[in-house]
Amino acid sequence: MAEQEKAAEKVLAISKIYVKDMSFESPQAPAVFKGAEWKPQTNLNLRSSHKLVEDNIHEVVLTITVEAKEKDTTLFLVEVHQAGLFEIAGYGGEELAAITGSFCPNILFPYAREAVAGTIQKGGFPEFVLQPINFDALYMQSKQQAAAAQAESAQSETH
């Protein structure tokens, strides 16, 4: 009986948060700093990945890429892979997918945001603030896209 209670116990804990990879490029420096006006177009790319490292220890990596361009000229490009080790036990299927696809990236985001902002500022550029991200909505959107792609694939196989 005690073994069944222990097996059903749910655990969700942060073991470690760290930067797995980081890069910064400013290919037009120092000429880029001579411009009179600072009005670049910025592109944000956000993705996360998950893998089981060992029993109940999951690595989740949140990757944020920010590129600032003016016309066709890249002013800077920064990419941060913010990672965390999470102890996750007692969750299965959909619950585990939601934790690793939404909850964990949400925990990692403030660390990644700070790394991105600090790197851009150290590169000599004005302060850059990433707005909050709704990881629950992104997770649901990715599930819907995967379901739609699966349905489309199944439909094309039947025709």
Model confidence over 47-89: pLDDT tens digits? 999 999 999 999 999 999 999 998 888 999 999 999 999 999 9
7 pLDDT more than 60: no
The whole-number average pLDDT for the span 8-37 is: 91
Beta partners for 79? 23, 65
Does the model's pTM come out above 0.75?
Answer: yes
Residue spans per domain, the chain: 2-152
CA dist 112 and 84 (Å) reads 11
CA dist 85 and 53 (Å) reads 9
Tokens of 158: 């039947």
Alpha carbon separation from 48 to 43, 84, 94, 134 (Å, rounded): 17, 11, 17, 13
Q: What is the mean pLDDT of the chain?
A: 90
What is the identity of the amino acid at 26? S
SS3 126: coil
**Beta-sheet strands, E only, within the chain:** 11-25, 41-54, 57-70, 73-89
The dihedral built from the CA positions of residue 133, 136, 139 and 143, taken in this order, carries a sign that is negative
pLDDT (tens digit, 9 = 90+) per residue, 115-155? 999 999 999 999 899 999 999 998 898 888 877 877 777 76
Task: Return the CATH fold of 2-152.
Answer: Bacterial Protein-export protein SecB (3.10.420)
What is the dihedral angle through the alpha carbons of 13, 16, 20, 25, rounded to the nearest 10 degrees? 100
Tokens of 114: 């700070």
pLDDT (tens digit, 9 = 90+) per residue, 31-55? 888 876 778 899 999 999 999 999 9
